[in-house]
Structure 1
């Protein structure tokens, strides 16, 4: 009989069988062109922007649709957008064979073959990003991780990590309009975010080193227009190179309300990245005297970032009186998830390194952060599950698991109504995961992971000691880590072995 662990392993780690996919050559990128009417095509493109653009803001909608109507967009890119949108919204004209078409797209290797030299091709890169995003969330595992790695390295090869410097050195980049430069910026920051999410999930180093980025954060078209296409140096905002300066960028971003939410999203993703880097320092230098100071500095900077955000930013309710739209509310909720996860992960790291009362305070902080995540989840409108990056399910999984561990500790078990409160928080998070799982595979695997963890953990009797909790903290990995399935299967053994030490 197969176990949940077997199912998880086969879903995440098994490569797709290339022998069952259509044969593809570099010259046949449109062999499976989607044959629909022009009205249906335009409908699906509108749906793409209505539903998926918030998660993947790689276009200016107005510019793209203008180019599309003037037949200036790549047919290959349009076909990709239409096929992916049709699949995700359940639009399947008779004889469309969407699954075969998507397998064809995923099996293609055209980007590496077609981008030669220094001439940038924006539509090729956009198509590659859409396919990387789709594969990561529908077929998570080694293959999707490698695809994103290739996309990131090609972005480096094209040079969009240093976009502000390229026009100075290369005539072809100097000839590109300011509006198109902005489109490249949009694409770069989407690649930055997906590199962050995938390597957080896999527990591997990021390919993008933010200390060496020379691409500005996003500017609105109205700001670019008001500057006659030439923003001044004071109007261009860069991501700080150090964790220490992350909060300082927030005031500069408020001057451009149209892009403020999108740029704060980049900042809060960066906060998660930076805390994960602290984790790597801890793993590599656990016994050095610098680790404790690194933890303190990370905690200070997270506090500063939270306080630098506008008044009421961390309130999970929609600010209807101030005119906050549902879309903006959910975009803000995503940043709350990011910050809560950063604090939660930092608490996990601190617990590993502390003892006594300090350990108890950090363990309590973990519970608080899990509760913050549940509060944000409780405000979620399920119609937005397709409008945001489903990688936030990584945050939900971490909260679910440590709420489960909290139920078996003496600190939580002695609190009045603590267990019922924790169960309610878990229910809210699970229901949100169920909504995401109706669309994406990644949350379905996360639900399976949690079921497997809880099944293994249910065999642990009595209240957990500090040593036993730490054993779980030390063994915890991301859901795409190669040892993740091993962790799920051995939770009971990990806890029992720690109890005998």
Structure 2
């Protein structure tokens, strides 16, 4: 897949040449060592990814000495794709930093490796596997410095952030979320959340860092903030980054001082959600491209909405509905404070809106609607039947607004779109599916429209799933969910399903829980539907450990089950890693063929809700 059409907006042009006045990187210093990056021709003795100890082959071994330096193209790919989705480097200075700045071996390896992965160019791989190399780097790379003023600190933090971003999307699971939480705590120890604090900046050494380098560090912090959002949303756990303690300014388009020598105004996320509208209004009045800052401001209100939803689910109390109502008012104020035409769903060509800014704006719109959806569903279970049905119908309208935004996405920008967007789209998919099964839906045209739109959303996620395990895993789970719910559902059953939904990276998905062992049915493997294979056969280790307790004690379970194999989940070996695929199948499989039998049982709802964890939990709605 070509990314050449993206380069015009970045420091490296589409012809493959660096802008006038900037040469291709001739040398990058790497922790007191260097590797040559010769313009126009490669060094056949220099690996693209420096091999780890014990690795004999390198990425450079397969290149012809007469070919253009592949590092040049990999750098272009990185700045036009991954660095847009995860802006760790200021795009204006990326090319200069490749040429002049200190870049460690590890950081260079990660940059080139991530680019090689997404372009999927076999001749770049040689005898090595990109994912294996990146995974090894992920587990062997650590932040060893304790102070930001140490020269190696910025390289180590950048490498750690990129590898955490990679790990979350390629190896989704609790361990990656724990790793992200550890990084955020480490960032607090080093003061990355206090870069612009007048009181504390000297305590962490920020007063000894140049403004240009402070700008680099702000990119590191806000990327960590994004990672913290991922981990929190996907696991329904508290955030590590506290809004009340943040004194690092939001990213700005540029760092030069004004004509009078004064520094540009800095913007900060407020601790009080009631002040977010004022932040949005202030950002809207500034010149330049502040799409990322607006996106972070909306992420803050989405974080608050997801937190309220989690608290309502985990510890219901009378104060939550009032806080939800207040936050809905704050969200309305934020929408009204947005720049003119910001809520439009088409690119503002007349005002010179770039494609990158347009897609950032689309992402921000999705988060606004997601916040509204979370808030409308958060306390719906407390409502009486008529009010609940009204709220349920309102959710369809919000889903349609979100679909209208997703419809505008340019497929050519998929590589520059963070795969975490699937945490937003999967709930919409699932809610649309439940709406299509609603027993109160009698309009055949609406049913056909729902089917079409589900297909479009599924194709969107499928595009991301071509490159990353996380959307592939979520899409597989959605497909299994669809096979379970095929008949019309009453409003009462839909309500119960919504009340029991789990977060997308819940342990039940990634390995099962002992509490559900008694509900484990036997599963088929292979193509022979006439032979039942017990879950112990799929996972003998679990059976040997004693956690395979069978299902005799469960309610009236069916005796036949559909054949589903590991390949049906389309998971890569890396994705399975510590995952127990047999247990995943056991947790999720509920045969459509047994639906009619279950319809007559009193335990139908309990079986469904304990056997199927839908991906529609509102805490999917992620950064």
Instruction: Place the TM-score, normalised by the shorter chain, in its bin.
Output: 0.7 to 0.9
1:139 partnered with 2:167: no
- Structure-1 residue corresponding to 2:393: 364
Among 367, 385, 388, the residue aligned to 2:417: 388
RCO comparison, higher one (Cα < 8 Å, 6+): 1
SS in 2 for 1:316: coil
Q: What is the Cα-based RMSD across aligned positions, in Å?
A: 2.7
1:429 partnered with 2:457: yes
Cα distance, 1:97 vs structure 2: 3.7
- Structure number having the greater helix percentage: 1
SS in 2 for 1:65: helix
| In structure 2, C-alpha distance between the alignment counterparts of 1:177 and 1:290, rounded to whole Å | 46
Residues 296 and 437 of structure 1: CA distance in aligned 2, closer, same or farther (over 3 Å): same
- Report the more deviating stretch, 208-217 or 163-172: 163-172
Deviations 1:368-425 (A, max 9, x none): 11111211121111111110211010111100111111122244x1346221121122
- Structure-2 residue corresponding to 1:401: 430
TM-score (norm 2): 0.69
- Structure-1 residue corresponding to 2:94: 64
| In structure 2, C-alpha distance between the alignment counterparts of 1:392 and 1:430, rounded to whole Å | 13
Contact 2:148–2:154 (Cα < 8 Å) also in 1 = no
- Structure-2 residue corresponding to 1:207: 240
Q: Which runs of 5+ in 1 are unaligned?
A: 1-27
| In structure 2, C-alpha distance between the alignment counterparts of 1:474 and 1:329, rounded to whole Å | 35
Cα distance, 1:272 vs structure 2: 1.6
- Report the more deviating stretch, 365-374 or 30-39: 30-39
- Structure-1 residue corresponding to 2:520: none
Among 70, 76, 95, the residue aligned to 1:40: 70
- Report the more deviating stretch, 62-71 or 165-174: 165-174
Q: Which runs of 5+ in 2 are unaligned?
A: 1-49, 513-586, 609-623
| In structure 2, C-alpha distance between the alignment counterparts of 1:357 and 1:482, rounded to whole Å | 35
May I ask how many residue pairs the two structures share in their alignment? 463
| In structure 2, C-alpha distance between the alignment counterparts of 1:163 and 1:355, rounded to whole Å | 49
- Structure-2 residue corresponding to 1:24: none
Cα distance, 1:29 vs structure 2: 8.9
1:442 partnered with 2:470: yes
Deviations 1:37-59 (A, max 9, x none): 78222221122101211111111
Among 494, 497, 504, the residue aligned to 1:479: 504
- Structure-1 residue corresponding to 2:447: 419
Residues 283 and 186 of structure 1: CA distance in aligned 2, closer, same or farther (over 3 Å): same
Cα distance, 1:170 vs structure 2: 3.6
1:253 partnered with 2:247: no
TM-score (norm 1): 0.85
Cα distance, 1:226 vs structure 2: 4.7
Among 322, 334, 359, the residue aligned to 1:293: 322
SS in 1 for 2:88: coil
Contact 1:220–1:256 (Cα < 8 Å) also in 2 = no
Contact 1:336–1:376 (Cα < 8 Å) also in 2 = yes
Cα distance, 1:144 vs structure 2: 1.6
Residues 334 and 228 of structure 1: CA distance in aligned 2, closer, same or farther (over 3 Å): same
Cα distance, 1:281 vs structure 2: 2.7
Contact 1:29–1:108 (Cα < 8 Å) also in 2 = no
- Structure-2 residue corresponding to 1:375: 404
| In structure 2, C-alpha distance between the alignment counterparts of 1:276 and 1:149, rounded to whole Å | 18
Cα distance, 1:366 vs structure 2: 1.0
| In structure 2, C-alpha distance between the alignment counterparts of 1:187 and 1:276, rounded to whole Å | 24
Among 330, 337, 357, the residue aligned to 1:308: 337
Cα distance, 1:310 vs structure 2: 1.8
- Structure-2 residue corresponding to 1:496: 605
| In structure 2, C-alpha distance between the alignment counterparts of 1:480 and 1:86, rounded to whole Å | 27
SS in 2 for 1:320: coil
Cα distance, 1:107 vs structure 2: 2.2
| In structure 2, C-alpha distance between the alignment counterparts of 1:115 and 1:222, rounded to whole Å | 26
SS in 2 for 1:258: coil
Cα distance, 1:292 vs structure 2: 2.2
- Structure-1 residue corresponding to 2:221: 188
Moved beyond 6 Å, runs of 4+:
490-495
Cα distance, 1:358 vs structure 2: 2.1
